[in-house]
């Protein structure tokens, strides 16, 4: 745990095509320069930031102090937009300069390599979703967790306000029987968004995954120990439908749509800051591991022509998760 009597120093590391988190997450923590942010190559970021009163965009008690990007020409632009004091030549240069690291890339197949230097240095790490997309990499994260290293990986969809159902909505739906959830892009890169959006409603207990795939994307059929049926679409080019969720129950149905990106991302980052301050995780690491096993099971099903794949079988290959801390 890091004392609350001083400001947390965070490093924002990595930036790949299609992912503007170094701009947005750093701005949410630090505040931002509206003029410099207007040049952000991800047009949606200044739009949702601009919906908030400028003076309120900040997470008190924390600051992104260092930034590194895969393309060195991006880092000064991010630093100017999101008020980051230091641009570093190599990601490892932040070791000894910060209290924790944010790996801001959604390339789950490369996270072990990106994270390893900071784990070995004893730094807490937040890893953008998905944590890992292979059994070997997921096993490595489980081992690091068992050794007591502080790791957190979530999708902002877990924190979207639209999914915080109130009593009247729950009464309208009744007992859940089927959930559909949707994402654009690919199952391996964005499927975790659709999965984490509904996961708080069901909790652990995913059992099987079966993929129905073609060149345009995947539709994944999941079973859950609760008996609720789950269908997740990952259709590559359907950007306008991202974040659509539908709940079907014994009394009624309810359509939900993610609309408040700022609030979801801010809550996600606050959860990491709170973990650093208190040592209390926002969700058990075992739950994150199960969700990654669902992603891996979906990839296997697709590779096997739509065979039904056991989530438990994937978890057995990964090895048990012992909660620590």
CA 11 to chain centroid, in Å, comes to 17
Same domain, 175 and 29: no
C-alpha span between 11 and 20 (Å, rounded):
15
Look at residue 11 and tell me whether its pLDDT is greater than 60: yes
* Structural domain boundaries, residue 128: 8-157+263-282
**14 Cβ partners below 8 Å, 6+ apart?**
22, 68, 69, 70, 91, 103, 104, 105, 114
Question: Shortest CA distance to 204 belongs to which of 286, 130, 143?
Answer: 286
pLDDT of residue 324: 41
Query: 230: domain CATH number?
Result: 3.30.360.10
Asked, for residue 139, whether it belongs to a domain, the answer is yes
Whether residue 178 sits in one domain with residue 140: no
Residue 221 placed within a domain: yes
pLDDT tens, position by position, 76-110:
999 999 999 999 999 999 999 999 999 999 999 99
Q: Which pLDDT belongs to residue 325?
A: 38
Q: What is the pLDDT of residue 83?
A: 98
Same structural domain, 119 and 180: no
Residue 195 belongs to a domain: yes
What is the structure's pLDDT at 3? 67
Q: What is the average pLDDT across 44-59?
A: 97
Quote the DSSP letter at residue 106: -
HEC-encoded secondary structure of 130-190 = CCCCCHHHHHHHHHHHHCCCCEECCCHHHHCHHHCCCHHHHHHHCCEEEEEEEECCCHHHH
Q: Is residue 2 part of a domain?
A: no
267 lies in the same domain as 234: no
Query: What percent of the chain clears pLDDT 90, i.e. is strictly above it?
Result: 93
Q: What is the pLDDT of residues 245-302, one digit of tens each?
A: 999 999 999 999 998 999 999 999 999 999 999 999 999 999 999 999 999 999 999 9
298 plus 166 within the same structural domain: yes
CB half-sphere exposure, 268, CA atoms < 13 A? 30
Q: How many domains is the chain partitioned into structurally?
A: 2
Residue 164 has pLDDT above 90, yes or no: no
Q: For 183-229, what is each residue's pLDDT tens digit?
A: 999 999 999 999 999 999 999 999 999 999 999 999 999 999 999 99
One domain, residues 111 and 214: no
Residues 127, 234 within the same domain: no
For residues 147 and 43, state if they share a domain: yes
We report the CATH number of the domain holding residue 74 as 3.40.50.720
Are residues 103 and 145 both part of a single domain? yes
């Amino acid at each position: 745990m890091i004392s609350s009597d001083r400001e947390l120093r965070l490093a924002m590391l990595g930036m790949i095509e299609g992912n503007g988190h170094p701009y947005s997450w750093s701005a949410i923590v630090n505040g931002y320069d509206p003029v410099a942010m207007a040049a952000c190559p991800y047009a949606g970021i200044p739009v949702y930031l601009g919906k908030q009163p400028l003076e309120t965009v900040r997470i008190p008690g924390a600051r992104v102090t260092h930034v590194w990007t895969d393309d060195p020409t991006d880092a000064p632009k991010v630093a100017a937009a999101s008020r980051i004091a230091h641009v570093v030549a190599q990601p490892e240069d932040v070791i000894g300069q910060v209290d924790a690291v944010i790996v801001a890339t959604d390339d789950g197949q490369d996270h072990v390599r990106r994270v390893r230097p900071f784990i070995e240095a004893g730094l807490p790490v937040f890893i953008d979703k998905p944590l890992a997309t292979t059994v070997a990499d997921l096993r490595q994260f489980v081992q690091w967790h068992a050794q007591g290293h502080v790791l957190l990986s979530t999708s902002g969809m877990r924190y979207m306000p639209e999914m915080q159902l109130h009593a009247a909505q729950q009464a309208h739906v009744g007992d859940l029987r089927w959930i559909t959830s949707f994402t654009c892009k690919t199952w391996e890169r964005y499927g975790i968004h659709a999965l984490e959006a509904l996961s708080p409603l069901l909790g652990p207990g995913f059992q099987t995954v079966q993929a129905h795939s073609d060149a345009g994307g995947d539709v994944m059929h999941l079973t859950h120990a609760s008996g609720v049926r789950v269908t997740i679409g990952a259709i590559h080019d359907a950007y306008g439908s991202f974040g659509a969720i539908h709940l079907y129950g014994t009394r009624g149905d309810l359509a939900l749509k993610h609309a408040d990106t700022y609030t979801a991302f801010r809550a996600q980052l606050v959860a990491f800051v709170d973990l650093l301050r208190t040592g209390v995780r926002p969700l058990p690491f075992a739950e994150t591991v199960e969700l990654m096993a669902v992603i891996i099971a979906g990839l296997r099903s697709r590779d096997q022509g739509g065979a039904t794949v056991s989530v438990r079988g994937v978890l057995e290959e990964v090895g048990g998760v012992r909660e620590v801390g």
